[in-house]
């Protein structure tokens, strides 16, 4: 007689880095006259703390890390940790297409007191899956802080296949995945086979990912409305799925229209400028929004109910 089918437990299994569950925000790097604006950086971190986020992620894609010098990159890490002052977790971006450089940046973050490191997959040189594995293995063995594998093939040119992430999960230092492929099957495979903490890398995919076991989001829109993104996650965690869906649908238009206008972080910096919270300045090769795009962005923000100046 066949064995009865085991009913899955209703209790979610704990993941490896639960302290990073919830809302993290990939913050911008403020510039003024071509230089890092430390005052604005501190103001924006205070706004995130007030908004109830769990963690900030400086010097990632949104933080324009490719245009920062090594000294500037390390400076933003240090100043962000100092401004957070232990009131919020800090997970800076420390990735590179050079393993040696990624190790150096990650060691710097660990030394300054970062709680984790957000490490994008090696870009441009398109390594094999074994090369990707060895890259992250070297990082995991170099530091004691947890590593979040940031998988965004649209930027890097190479997907980190789920089988590779499942192998990486065997390493104690690999704790999280920032899932920005948009592939729910891939996320499902990782969640079903590991105890990694999986965070959405796309604001509009936050609720779908939560529904299959994801634990939160590393948000861009959270720069503007952290409390609203937090409300979506809180509603889901409290079992109020109808309210979570309402927040999802309210935020969806903002996420789609904001991030669809131009490459991140051009629109988010323009939006912050319209709200009086940033200069809007970006570094080449990024350029400001065209006037027609800026008009559309202003209408989107007004439509959401934000106080555009």
Catalytic: 124? no
Q: Are 217 and 239 in contact (CB under 8 A)?
A: no
Query: Residue 170 and residue 10: Cα distance in Å, rounded?
Result: 26
Q: Which long-range contacts (CB under 8 A, 24 or more apart) does 133-139 make?
A: 133/164, 133/167, 133/168, 134/99, 135/99, 135/102, 136/168, 136/171, 136/174, 137/168, 137/171, 138/99, 138/103, 139/99, 139/102, 139/103, 139/106, 139/173
| Cα dihedral value 75, 81, 85, 86, nearest 10 | -170
Cα angle: 31, vertex 32, 34; to 5 degrees: 75
Marked catalytic residue, from 137, 178, 269, 304: 178
Residue with tokens 């996420």: 255
Q: How would you classify the pairing of strands 55-57 and 89-90?
A: parallel
Marked catalytic residue, from 133, 150, 269, 304: 150
Q: Count H helices and E strands in the chain, helices first.
A: 12, 10
What are the Cα distances from residue 285, in Å, to 28, 66, 263? 16, 10, 11
Alpha helices in the chain (DSSP H): 38-50, 70-84, 99-112, 129-142, 153-156, 162-168, 184-193, 206-211, 226-237, 241-260, 266-274, 291-304
Catalytic: 296? no
- Which tokens sit at 177? 């995945």
Helix, strand, or coil (residue 23): strand
Active site members: 150, 178
């Amino acid at each position: 007689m066949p064995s009865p089918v085991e009913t899955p437990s209703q209790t979610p299994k704990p993941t490896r880095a639960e302290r990073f569950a919830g809302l993290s925000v990939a913050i911008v790097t403020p510039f003024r006259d071509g230089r890092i604006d430390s005052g604005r950086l501190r103001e924006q971190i205070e706004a995130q703390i007030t908004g109830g986020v769990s963690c900030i992620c400086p010097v990632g894609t949104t933080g324009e890390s490719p245009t920062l010098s090594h000294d500037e990159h390390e400076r933003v890490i240090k100043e962000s940790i100092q401004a957070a002052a232990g009131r919020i977790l800090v997970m800076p971006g420390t990735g590179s297409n050079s393993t040696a450089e990624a190790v150096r940046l990650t060691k710097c973050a660990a030394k300054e007191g970062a709680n984790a490191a957000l490490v994008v997959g090696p870009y441009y040189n398109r390594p094999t899956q074994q090369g990707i594995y060895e890259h992250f293995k070297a990082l995991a063995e170099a530091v004691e802080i947890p590593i979040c594998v940031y998988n965004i093939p649209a930027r890097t040119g190479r997907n980190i296949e789920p089988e590779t992430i499942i192998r990486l999960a065997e390493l104690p230092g690999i704790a999280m995945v920032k899932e920005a492929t948009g592939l729910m099957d891939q996320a499902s495979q990782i969640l079903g086979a590991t105890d990694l903490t999986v965070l959405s890398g796309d604001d509009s995919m936050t609720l779908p990912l939560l529904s299959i076991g994801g634990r939160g989001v590393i948000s861009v829109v959270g720069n503007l409305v952290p409390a609203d993104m937090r409300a979506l996650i809180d509603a889901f965690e409290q079992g109020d799925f109808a309210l979570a869906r309402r927040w999802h649908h309210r935020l969806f238009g903002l996420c789609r229209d904001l991030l669809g206008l131009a490459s991140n972080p051009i629109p988010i910096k323009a939006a912050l400028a319209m709200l009086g919270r940033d200069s809007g300045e970006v570094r080449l090769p990024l350029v400001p929004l065209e006037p027609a795009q800026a008009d559309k962005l202003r209408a989107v923000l007004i439509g959401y109910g934000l106080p555009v100046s």
